[in-house]
Structure 1
Amino acid sequence: MRVAIYIRVSTNEQVQEGYSIKAQRMKLEAYAVSQGWDIVQYYVDEGLSAKDMNRVELKRMLGSLDKDVFDCVLVYRLDRLTRSVLDLYEMIKLFEKHDVKFKSATEVYDTTTATGRLFVTLIASLAQWERENTGERISFGMEQKAREGKWVSNTPPYGYNKSGLDRLEINPIEAKIIKEMYTLYTSGQSIFGIAKNLNQRKVKSKRDYSWRQGPVRYILNNPVYTGTIRYNYRKNKENYFEIENAVPAIIEKDTFNLVQEIMKKRSGFHPRSATSSYPFSKIAKCARCGKSLSGRQSKITRNEKSYTSYSYYCQNRLLGLCDLPNVSENYLDYQFQKHLSGWDLTEHGDAIVNESLIESEKLKDEYEKELSEIEKRRSKWQYAWANEKISDEDFHQRSREELDREKKIKLELEALYLDSDKSTSISSEELKDISSSWGRLTQAEKKQFIQLSVKEIIINKTNQKRSKDSIIIEDITFN
């Protein structure tokens, strides 16, 4: 019997109830030995609840059912696998579909009979009731603490330290940075500019991270800095409430309200469109510094009519490292079309399309190979961990690193397969006559052609005038 061992712990269970990863592993291994079974895989979810199936290792285990890796799933107790009756039904159906048995080392039941399934369902129902009941008690207790003005999160917000179990006190060094953020914003600085300013001065966040726009925006939006605790801000918003004067204030309420007004006004200045397409993005390069040009849209009002203009800017310009002015997309498109008239793609139309498809298949093969290598390394570490050649901490660190790598590769693969499923918008025949048909192409079709045929376009701007001739394409490199 080839056995897959599934282990799950949450932080509380590991500390209070003796369900540590090591303890479960030792008992399950001893059980497998007593049955004469071979352990072929370990799946370990650490610090995760069994309220749903959104667990990395559980998903990996269920995904392995199609691969005929094991004949039986062994757990210490049923509640290690799930505390949801519906999820239990789904998993039992999957196990039966792939002829995989399910066994608990401490509970006796048989899922192959109606009585056995009833027994398992009753146990799962009790586990679900216990989880939901405990969750309600904890939620009620935390809400009550919040209404009493106590801090219920483990981590204090930037600008504060925890005082005792549930109180906050001001961190003088961080509070100075908080006040500076508000001052900079009310004096005209952008959220991006504030983050850039802090990073240039090597000011670190609470967890020693660099600053991004999200954390800065969160601080500027959070009323805790005026002394007000908010609860149910993200979840259960219908039960949202605030408790004023619960913590020491760092920012005056008038300043906080002013920041909210400025933020509301600024939000309408730079509209974004999720469907906008920039044909030259990632391809266009700055002639002055070599950095990529990024697309931007802005709203212009003339004679009481609003227009949206599209342009490209050098990314280094935001950092003060380049002086290339904005490049109008219309003018760049005009100059690119002039270059098209000198190209002869009669013989190369098929090649451009075919080379793109070949490159895509090569990438798919490389990604699939890397996923296979990750699985092999994971098995080696599981063997080393099971034989206590590496520590629990080392095992989990390596697993997390491989998981991050696996997620990135799968995202890239998904994008490649998605592109493969879509029919090519531009045929080889259209490519051969691209100069005359350019004006009829959509933005998406133009972008497709540029990405298929061009590797790099070097762009410069001779002056600040709004004219087509101010844009120069200094060089074009083909794929």
Structure 2
Amino acid sequence: MKRERAAIYCRLSEEDKGKGSAENDSNSIQNQRALLTEYAHSQGWEIYEIYIDDDYSGADRSRPAFKRMLHAAEEKRFDIILCKTQSRFSRELEVVERYINRLLPQWGIRFLSLVDNADSANEDNLLLRQINGIMDEHYLAELSKNIRSVLTHRRKNGFHIGSFALYGYKKNPDRRGHLLIDEEAAAVVREVFTLFSQGYGKTAIARMLNERGIPNPTEYKRLQGIRYRQPKGKGSTLWKYFAISNMLTNEIYIGNMVQGKYGSISYKTKQNKPRPKEEWIRTERTHEPIIEQELWERVQKMLAERAKPFPSGTIGLFARKARCAECGYTLRSSKTKGKYYLQCPNHHISKESCRGAFISVERLERMVLQELHTISDAYLNWEELERQLDFCSHLKEQRASLQKSIHAHEKKIEEAHKAVRELYPDKVRGVLSEAEYLDLSKHFSAELQQQERLIADAERKIIDLDARIAAGDNRRAIIEKYINPTHLTREMVEILIDSISVGRRIAGTREVPITIYWRF
């Protein structure tokens, strides 16, 4: 008789480590592994693999080992998932229902947790698993509420909350939540404010700093040995318009702490959204200022004078929608001789920056209207359309392609994990030198992070596609509402357009290539 194969899953999160009790010690990865391994052997099961996620929350659906295990379960590589408790698998009721109570049984995989007796092979056990899920969900909600309460209290008392100090400051090693001036970076901050007060523009200041080889805030952190993860798509080491713009309006440089500008959408996700300005937490004189009050006020006055509004119907028509095809940055509005233009902010900051996109708002509106009219004409013959077009087929094809790419990235992660495991024995045997070992470890670590980022991005796209597929194809209703318009409004742009990619004018012509990504 073939032995059953068990996948052992262990998880430990930061909140578990911080409990500081005897129970906490029993939750350690080592003890979880020992307990589960001994139980598997006592049942005569073959251990397929031990999956471990250390320092990951039970609400995190992107846990790398967790995802690898579920992928292996879907491919039926083992028969049982064994955990210490159901909460080690997940603290989200939605995940419990989706996997433990639905998908795992469909795949022929049994879920078993020792301490709380959750067992998907026992039909009478369903209510217990659901109660466990509700309790774990409540725990997450309460934990999130308590954490927010503590952070809000500390922010109101002027403590700096964040993993990294803003450029120009450093964290005080002797006083938690307090900032000290970093003189090297502070000198650059003072220069930026001074140059702007003397009439230099933000792009010109960025170009001057780049020409002198001064590292931008992200690169400066890296050079200081700070493990700062740059947001996706913002990996350049150059100063940009937005970095200068944000610096000139940040009150931290006059000694005030302004925090809470962003808040999480839910305790179930790490995604944040901007908060209204009236909800920001502002505390004055919490640390030593870099910029004197007189210079600050002069700069704010100049910023207000330069912020001249565009006429109604022009300003913001393509705001946050038009992007440079070459570098991906959002195009910025400008005015020349009474006409309004969109241009890439990277265009003049450095000789090595992208060549930049440039187009008039009027011309872009004409091009969008022209393509919208073409689409409208194509959709007017509804009977022909319904005979020939499978509304959701292209969305399903995109989803399948993304799912395939996720499996490919997961395979690369497995290969990288295997390579990492083989490095240390080679080092011990003298096959690799210490320097070679460290260099290869760094390489594989970077590869793992890159693949995990690609998987997360693909999964976000799949969620969006699933929502669109579930809602059905609504193109007919949208086109009927906006057939052959004579001009665009901001409402129409928001409803119809996801984004517009604008390229550089083709040499020798007046043609500017654009690609419109419609929402339908």
Match status 1:75 vs 2:83: yes
Alpha-carbon distance in structure 2 between the residues aligned to 1:114 and 1:388: 46
Q: Which residues in structure 2 correspond to 1:12-411 (within 5 Å)?
A: 12-14=15-17, 17-18=24-25, 19=27, 24-25=32-33, 27-40=35-48, 43-51=51-59, 53=61, 55=63, 57-59=65-67, 61-62=69-70, 66-94=74-102, 95-113=104-122, 115-163=124-172, 164-166=174-176, 167-200=178-211, 201-205=213-217, 207-208=221-222, 210=237, 211-235=239-263, 237=275, 239-263=279-303, 265-266=306-307, 268=309, 271=315, 273-274=317-318, 299=335, 308=340, 319=350, 374-382=409-417, 398-406=447-455
CA drift of 1:38 comes to 3.9
Per-residue CA deviation, residues 444-463 of structure 1 (Å, 9 max, x unaligned), is xxxxxxxxxxxx99615xxx
Per-residue CA deviation, residues 182-217 of structure 1 (Å, 9 max, x unaligned), is 223333444444444334323352522834445444
Per-residue CA deviation, residues 85-130 of structure 1 (Å, 9 max, x unaligned), is 3432333233233332212254423234465233333334443444
Question: Aligned match of 2:14 in 11, 16, 27?
Answer: 11
CA drift of 1:143 comes to 2.4
Quickly say closer, same or farther: Cα 1:249–1:383, change in 2 above 3 A: closer
Q: Percent identity?
A: 21
Alpha-carbon distance in structure 1 between the residues aligned to 2:48 and 2:175: 44
8 A contact 1:156–1:162 mirrored in 2 = yes
Alpha-carbon distance in structure 2 between the residues aligned to 1:232 and 1:314: 28
CA drift of 1:370 comes to 7.1
Alpha-carbon distance in structure 2 between the residues aligned to 1:314 and 1:234: 24
CA drift of 1:225 comes to 1.6
Q: Highest CA radius of gyration, 1 or 2?
A: 1
Alpha-carbon distance in structure 1 between the residues aligned to 2:357 and 2:416: 53
Alpha-carbon distance in structure 1 between the residues aligned to 2:418 and 2:449: 17
Please, which runs of 5 or more residues in structure 2 have no aligned partner? 223-229, 231-236, 265-274, 367-397, 426-436, 474-503, 512-520
Amino acid at match of 1:165: R
Alpha-carbon distance in structure 2 between the residues aligned to 1:324 and 1:113: 63
Alpha-carbon distance in structure 2 between the residues aligned to 1:136 and 1:325: 45
SS in 1 for 2:11: strand
Alpha-carbon distance in structure 2 between the residues aligned to 1:295 and 1:10: 41
Alpha-carbon distance in structure 2 between the residues aligned to 1:73 and 1:128: 21
CA drift of 1:4 comes to 3.5
SS in 1 for 2:16: helix
8 A contact 1:225–1:249 mirrored in 2 = yes
Alpha-carbon distance in structure 1 between the residues aligned to 2:421 and 2:147: 35
Amino acid at match of 2:191: E
CA drift of 1:301 comes to 6.6
8 A contact 2:85–2:113 mirrored in 1 = yes
Alpha-carbon distance in structure 2 between the residues aligned to 1:77 and 1:36: 21
8 A contact 2:409–2:451 mirrored in 1 = yes
Quickly say closer, same or farther: Cα 1:105–1:228, change in 2 above 3 A: same
Alpha-carbon distance in structure 1 between the residues aligned to 2:356 and 2:453: 37
Please, which runs of 5 or more residues in structure 1 have no aligned partner? 284-290, 334-362, 423-455, 461-470, 474-479
Amino acid at match of 2:292: E
8 A contact 1:3–1:37 mirrored in 2 = yes
CA drift of 1:263 comes to 4.4
Bigger mean CA offset, 261-270 vs 197-206: 261-270
Quickly say closer, same or farther: Cα 1:61–1:222, change in 2 above 3 A: farther
8 A contact 1:229–1:246 mirrored in 2 = yes
Question: Aligned match of 1:459 in 507, 513, 516?
Answer: 507
CA drift of 1:82 comes to 2.0
8 A contact 1:14–1:21 mirrored in 2 = no
Quickly say closer, same or farther: Cα 1:157–1:58, change in 2 above 3 A: same
Alpha-carbon distance in structure 2 between the residues aligned to 1:371 and 1:140: 37
Amino acid at match of 1:127: D
SS in 2 for 1:219: helix
Alpha-carbon distance in structure 1 between the residues aligned to 2:132 and 2:458: 39
8 A contact 1:6–1:43 mirrored in 2 = yes
CA drift of 1:372 comes to 5.5
Q: Could you say which residue in structure 2 is the equivalent of 1:466?
A: none
8 A contact 2:190–2:290 mirrored in 1 = yes
Alpha-carbon distance in structure 2 between the residues aligned to 1:174 and 1:65: 51
CA drift of 1:52 comes to 5.3
Alpha-carbon distance in structure 1 between the residues aligned to 2:124 and 2:131: 11
Quickly say closer, same or farther: Cα 1:457–1:29, change in 2 above 3 A: farther
Quickly say closer, same or farther: Cα 1:325–1:234, change in 2 above 3 A: closer
User: What is the root-mean-square deviation of aligned Cα atoms in Å?
Assistant: 5.8
Amino acid at match of 1:181: V
8 A contact 2:101–2:126 mirrored in 1 = no
CA drift of 1:79 comes to 2.1
8 A contact 2:86–2:118 mirrored in 1 = no
SS in 2 for 1:73: strand
SS in 1 for 2:119: coil
CA drift of 1:144 comes to 2.4
8 A contact 1:41–1:382 mirrored in 2 = no
CA drift of 1:173 comes to 2.0
8 A contact 1:44–1:57 mirrored in 2 = yes
Alpha-carbon distance in structure 2 between the residues aligned to 1:399 and 1:268: 46
Alpha-carbon distance in structure 1 between the residues aligned to 2:405 and 2:175: 46
